[in-house]
A and B are shown apart, each in its own frame.
Chain A
Amino acid sequence: MPSVIDLHHISKVYGSGNTEVKALWDVSLSINQGDYCSIMGPSGSGKSTAMNVIGCLDRPTAGQYFFDGQDVAQLEDDTLAVIRNRNIGFVFQQFHLLPQLSALDNVALPMVYGGTAAAERRDRAAHALERVGLGNRTHNKPSQLSGGQQQRVAIARAIVNRPLLLLADEPTGALDTTTTEEVMKIFEELNQGGITVVMVTHEPAVARLTKRIVWFRDGQVIHTHMSPEDVSYGALVE
C-alpha cells in the first residue's frame, strides 16, 4: 500500500530562546492508503499540532512531509489551500457549519472553492448527504438540525470532493453515546469505501473502533499499535 501521509523527522517549534516550545520533535510517521487510524495522547502532547501539519493547515519548522508522494512541508498558503480543497476532508468537534446556508449549500461549499459547476455541485452535495443518511434534510439550516445531524452534514461536506484523507478532530466530542455510534459507523463505512481516515480523540471507546492507534506525548510519537489491542495503554501514559 502506498502511504498517504509520510512524516520524516518533523519538528514544530514555537517561539525561541527561553520561551521556546517544542510542539513536535522529530516525529516520523507513516499512514497508508486505506488506513483507519486514531491519534491519542494527553493534552499538550502535540497531537493537535500533528493534525494541523497532517492537514496542511500548518507548516513544520523542520522535516519533510510527503502527502500522497508530494513534499508539501514548505508550500505557499494558497497552494496548500488547493491541496486541502482537493484531497483532504475536515471534520471538527464544533461542526463549523455556516448558519446562513442550508445543509446542501454547506456541503457544496468546498466545490464552490474548487470551481465545480453549479449543477454538478447540487448533484454531488445531494448524493453526499444521502450517503450520511440526510437525503431528506437538504434544505434545512444547521439550526434546524440536531447535533448528530449537524456532524453528519459536516462529514458530507468533508467527503464531497472525494478526498484521499478524512481528518477528524474530536469528531464525537460534542455528541452523546447514540449519535457517537452513528457517526463512527459512517466513518467505518467511508473507510471501507477506500478513504483513509485519521481522527484525534480522547475517548478510548471511540479509538477502539479504529484499526490503529498512534500515541503522542511531549511532542513525540511514543507508541503505535493495532487496535483493539490494549487501548488502556493511555492509562499508563497519563
Chain B
Amino acid sequence: MDFRESLKMAVKTLTASKLRSGLTMLGIIIGNASVISMVGLGEGGRRYINEQLQSLGPNILFIVPGNRETRELGGLEITRNLVLADAEAIAQQVPSVIDVAAENTTPGLINYRNRNANASVIGTNPAFITVRNFTTEQGRFISGLDMQRTSAVAVLGNSLAERLFEEQVPLGQSVRINNVAFEVVGVLAVQGSNLGVNYDDAIMVPLTTQASRIVGRTSPYGIEVGFISATARDAESMQTAEFQITNLLRLRHGIVDPKEDDFFIQNQDTLLSIADTITGALTLMLAAIASISLLVGGIGIMNIMLVSVRERTQEIGLRKAIGASQSDILIQFLIEAIILSAAGGMVGTLLGISGIGLLSLLTPFEASASVGVIVVAVGVSGSIGLFFGVIPARQAAKLDPIVALRSI
C-alpha cells in the first residue's frame, strides 16, 4: 500500500473521532506551546539585557569594590573600599582615560510640599553625565563647584520630577531628602533603567554633599563610593586603561599580591558574557521544564494509541484477513501517532507564538519566536509521535488475525 493511501486512511480514522483526537493532541499542544513561549521569553530576556549593556557604550569600564573571587563566591559581601579620591586619581593619572565618574547610591525619602516619594539618592560627580552619556532636559547637572562647596543641589530623574511636580517647573524649588533641603537645579532627560538602576526614578546630588549631609560618615580614606565608571579614550585603549587603573589602584591600596585585590574591573564585554551565561542557563532551564510536558504529551499519545489498538482489534483482524501485511498495519498506526503529535505540535506552536505576543505586552522583554525553534519544536513533536507510536503500532502489526477477528 502506498504512503498516500496510508495517510488518507489515518486522517479518516482520526477525524472519525474528533474529540478523542483533540484530547490526545492536547498534551503535545500544551508541551509545544510552553516550550516555544518559554524559549521565546528566555531569548527576549537575553536580548533585553544585551541591549541594556550595549547602551552603556563600548568604551566604558566599571571599577567595582571587592575581590573577583570572593565577590563571585560570596555574592552578598559588599565591601566599600573605593573612595572618591581613587576616582580623582584615575582621572588625573591614567592617560588612556578621558572621564571618570563615581557613584554612591543610598535609599532616601524625598518630599516636596505634601508629596512624598521613595527614591534612590545617587551621589555622583560632574563627569557622571558624560561618562554615562546622559542629558539634562531642564537646567544643568552637578558642577565642580557644587562638589567643592558641598552645595545642597539636586538633579531629578525624569519620572521622579513628574511625580513630585506634575505640571509645575521644578527648577529653583526646594525638595527635602531625608529631611535635608536641596535646591533642584536640573532634570534629566528620560534614560530608562540601566543595569538594574532606574535613573528616571532617582535623584542625583553631589557626592560630597551626600557624604556629609545624608550619609553623615566618611571612611579614613575619604568618601566611599559604590563603584567607579571610566571611559577610555577609544576601544583600542581599553586594555591599556584596565592595566593602568589596576596598577594605580594597587599602588594606592598598598596591594602587592594580585590575589588580594580589593576591586575588580569589568567592561561591556565581560558583562555581556556574564549576562549571556546567566540568560542562556535560564533559557535552557525553562526549555527543559517545558520539555517535560512535551514528554508527558508523548506518553499520552502512546497511552491512547494502546487503547485504540485494543479497541480496534477487529478492524486490524479484518484488514489483515483481506490482505494487509504487517508493515501496512504498522505504518497505519505509526502515521496516526505522527499525525496526532505533529498536528498537536503545529497547534501548540501557534499557541506558543500568541503566548509570546502576550508576554511581550506584559513584560519589558521583546519576546520572539525564531524559525529555528519552531522547526525544532514541530520536528521534535513529530518524532515523539514516531517514538511513542512504535510500541502500539508493533502490537497492532503482530496481532493474529484469527484471534483479532474472534474477539468481540
Contact = CB atoms under 8 A, between A and B. Distances in A.
Q: Is the pairing of A and B real?
A: yes
Contact of A100 (B13, B325, B328): B13
Interface string A84-107: 111000101010101111000000
Interface in B1-40: 1-2, 5, 9, 12-13, 16
A52 B402 contact: yes
B260 interface: no
B401 interface: yes
B287 to A, nearest CB: 38
A84 B322 contact: yes
A85 B322 contact: yes
Contacts of A233: none
Contact of B328 (A58, A98, A113): A113
Nearest to B317: A96
A110 B12 CA distance: 17
Contacts of A109: 319, 322
B322 A115 contact: no
Interface residues of B, number: 25
A171 B122 CA distance: 95
Contacts of A96: 314-315, 317-318, 321, 405
B320 A81 contact: yes
Contact of B325 (A78, A101, A112): A78
Determine chain B's interface SS by DSSP, over half rule: helix
Contacts of B328: 113
Contacts of B12: 100-101
A77 B12 CA distance: 27
B351 to A, nearest CB: 28
A82 interface: yes
Nearest to A118: B5
Contact of B321 (A84, A98, A99, A101): A84
B408 interface: yes
B324 interface: yes
A90 B320 CA distance: 11
Contact of A113 (B1, B401, B402, B405): B1
Contact of A115 (B2, B402, B408): B2
A43 B321 CA distance: 22
A157 B321 CA distance: 12
B16 A113 contact: no
B402 A81 contact: no
A92 B407 CA distance: 13
Nearest to A113: B323
A55 B326 CA distance: 17
A2 interface: no
A114 interface: yes
Interface of A: 52, 55, 57-58, 77-78, 81-82, 84-86, 90, 92, 94, 96, 98-101, 109-110, 112-115, 157
26 contacts: A52-B402, A57-B401, A58-B402, A78-B325, A81-B320, A84-B322, A85-B322, A90-B322, A92-B318, A92-B405, A94-B408, A96-B314, A96-B315, A96-B317, A96-B321, A96-B405, A98-B315, A98-B318, A99-B16, A109-B319, A112-B9, A113-B1, A113-B319, A113-B322, A113-B325, A157-B322
In the A-B complex, the 7 residue pairs with the closest CB atoms: A85-B323, A100-B16, A113-B323, A96-B318, A110-B322, A78-B325, A81-B325
